[in-house]
Amino acid sequence: MKVVTVGLGYIGLPTSLMFAKHGAEVVGVDVSERVVGFLNAGQVPIEEPGLPEYLTEALARKKFRASLKPERGDVFIIAVPTPNALDEFGSCDLTYVKQATEAILPCLETGNTVIIESTISPRTTEDIIQPLIEKEGFRVGEDIYLVHCPERVLPGQILHELVHNNRIIGGVTEKCTEKGKEIYGLFVKGELLGAAASTAELSKLMENTYRDVNIALANELVQISSKLGIDALSVIEMANQHPRVNLHQPGPGVGGHCLAVDPYFIVAEAPEEAKLIYQARQINSHMPHFIVQKVLDIMEANQGETITILGLAYKGNVDDTRESPALQIVNQLKKATYYNIRTFDPYVANSDAYSLETALSNSDLAIVLTDHDIFKEIPESIINTMKTPILFDTKNCVLGCDAFHEHYTLGNISNIRRISKRYI
Ligand code: SAJ
């Protein structure tokens, strides 16, 4: 089987290499000369555990090569980005998906399968992609099999989840679904769930929306509890003892290219109906501002000068800063205050400090915005180099905080006080 993948990013690359590992001949296509050059030279341009080894093996076995142009094959997989459009509700911008589809059209032959993996707004496969293919004279379901197979993999665990997650195979016809199942059956050990293409599209969006709405509930609880002087984290712990309750964890906001983006695709299609989904987005988008306010309160109470931001990535142990609330917090602090702002993220190239030690030395406040493992245990010797050892752990992930003289979380943030003068 020859697979042509269009888009070699966080999804297209691991998917290509997974097909290659399981015996398919894979041509990965990307518009970026840099990405194509890197990959053919054996270098992986993104941080994801296991990928470098998969690439080395695929290149050595001549099962994978990267190219700027699509070519003929049996299966075409489109895995290109779908950002929010710059319209009222941030609808799904299908520009790249349409361009990728147009790019493969001249290569299509009867019997081929076209798979859309990109996250798309409901009805896109049938209303937009199918007509593009049919205008070339093919009949979808008879000559070309068209399927929407949304990805569900968690960054940081992509290679494991590609194999073990259940997978929705949304065919335009039954035959399309069957073809999709055959193709993913090459490596997927989870269940292959047949569905209509439109069901697959909306299910994918609802999975991320479910999480976004639940995180919004936790973030709203933080704001309520902060006003009432109640520890939100203890409330969550207690409430989750109920057998049918699973409150999510609050944080500095919701980042990444999924939860912070996909719910708008639903809102844009049905704004009158998607009120809760929209409101949840508003709550989560407000969290960076809430955090900045609390940071200002802490700094004011302690008359500090330097703030150290620990973590810029949108979540722990990844290098991805897309939609990261940490970046918004840094920008707001830089714009609205005269404090010295120092950032440190070992995964992100352009942070200010190059080590935890240089980041914290002489600082007045450490704010943890990303739960990287390296921040979970901060050595006492480093904490002692701070001018005022105050921690604001927005991810509630730092262990053994005794060396900090004040330790704030989203649970106790209503109790900000001035620390003893002798440490200032
Ligand atoms: N977050 C919280 N509280 C929580 C959980 C997460 O504030 O209780 C925040 C994280 O810090 C991060 C954001 O939410 O900023 C998103 O992180 P995540 O780990 O929930 O999800 P992603 O964006 O890395 O991956 C999601 C996954 N979807 C679901 O869990 C439903 C993944 O399975 C999808 O494949 C991926 O989106 C995608 O590509 O759509």
| Of 112, 146, 152, 117, nearest in space to 130 by CA | 146
| Of 192, 188, 187, nearest in space to 147 by CA | 192
Whole-number pLDDT of residue 354: 93
Instruction: Please tell me the distance between residue 154's alpha carbon and the centre of ligand 1 in angstroms.
Output: 7
Instruction: Name the residue of 151, 154, 164, 283 to mutate for ligand 1: max ligand atoms within 8 A of Cβ.
Output: 154
Atom of ligand 1 nearest to the CA of 219: 7
The string of DSSP codes covering 224-290 is HHHHHT--HHHHHHHHTTSTT-------S---SSSTTTHHHHHHHH-TTT-HHHHHHHHHHHHHHHH
258 has catalytic annotation: yes
Domain closes at, from 196, 211, 233: 196
Q: In 88-210, which ranges are E strands? A: 113-116, 145-148, 167-171, 192-196
In a domain? residue 252:
no
- Band of the pLDDT at 420, cuts 50, 70, 90? low
- Band of the pLDDT at 423, cuts 50, 70, 90? very low
The string of DSSP codes covering 310-353 is E--SSSTT----TT-HHHHHHHHHHHH--SEEEEE-TTSTT-S-
Same domain, residue pair 38 and 158: yes
In a domain? residue 204:
no
Instruction: Please tell me the distance between residue 223's alpha carbon and the centre of ligand 1 in angstroms.
Output: 21
| Domain of 86, in residue numbers | 2-196
Whole-number pLDDT of residue 333: 97
Catalytic residue among 204, 294, 315, 395: 204
Task: List the CATH number of the domain containing 36.
Answer: 3.40.50.720
Catalytic residue among 179, 258, 395, 397: 258
pLDDT (tens digit per residue) in 307-359: 999 999 999 999 999 999 999 999 999 998 899 999 999 999 889 999 999 99
Q: Are 295 and 333 in contact (CB under 8 A)?
A: yes
Structure tokens at 370: 């990303």
pTM of the model: 0.93
Collapsing DSSP to helix, strand or coil, 162 comes out as: helix
Same domain, residue pair 46 and 151: yes
Is the model's pLDDT at 421 over the cut of 60? no
pLDDT (tens digit per residue) in 109-158: 999 999 999 999 999 999 999 999 999 999 999 999 999 999 999 988 99
Instruction: Name the residue of 211, 317, 345 to mutate for ligand 1: max ligand atoms within 8 A of Cβ.
Output: 211
Instruction: Name the residue of 15, 206, 254 to mutate for ligand 1: max ligand atoms within 8 A of Cβ.
Output: 254
The string of DSSP codes covering 19-62 is HHHTT-EEEEE-S-HHHHHHHHTT--SS--TTHHHHHHHHHHTT
In a domain? residue 155:
yes
Instruction: Please tell me the distance between residue 207's alpha carbon and the centre of ligand 1 in angstroms.
Output: 10
pLDDT (tens digit per residue) in 152-184: 999 889 999 999 999 999 999 999 999 999 999
Same domain, residue pair 65 and 162: yes
Instruction: Please tell me the distance between residue 259's alpha carbon and the centre of ligand 1 in angstroms.
Output: 6
| Of 150, 119, 114, nearest in space to 132 by CA | 114
In a domain? residue 343:
yes
Q: What's the domain count of the chain?
A: 2
- Which residues have any ligand 1 atom within 6 Å of their CB? 119, 151-155, 207-208, 211, 215, 248-249, 251, 254-256, 258-259, 314-315
In a domain? residue 294:
yes
Same domain, residue pair 160 and 15: yes
Domain closes at, from 128, 162, 196: 196
pLDDT (tens digit per residue) in 244-293: 999 999 999 999 999 999 999 999 999 999 999 999 999 999 999 999 99
Same domain, residue pair 180 and 300: no
Domain closes at, from 167, 196, 225: 196
Structure tokens at 56: 């080395």
In a domain? residue 213:
no
Atom of ligand 1 nearest to the CA of 207: 31
Same domain, residue pair 75 and 185: yes
In a domain? residue 274:
no
Same domain, residue pair 293 and 174: no
Same domain, residue pair 8 and 153: yes
Atom of ligand 1 nearest to the CA of 325: 15
149 has catalytic annotation: no
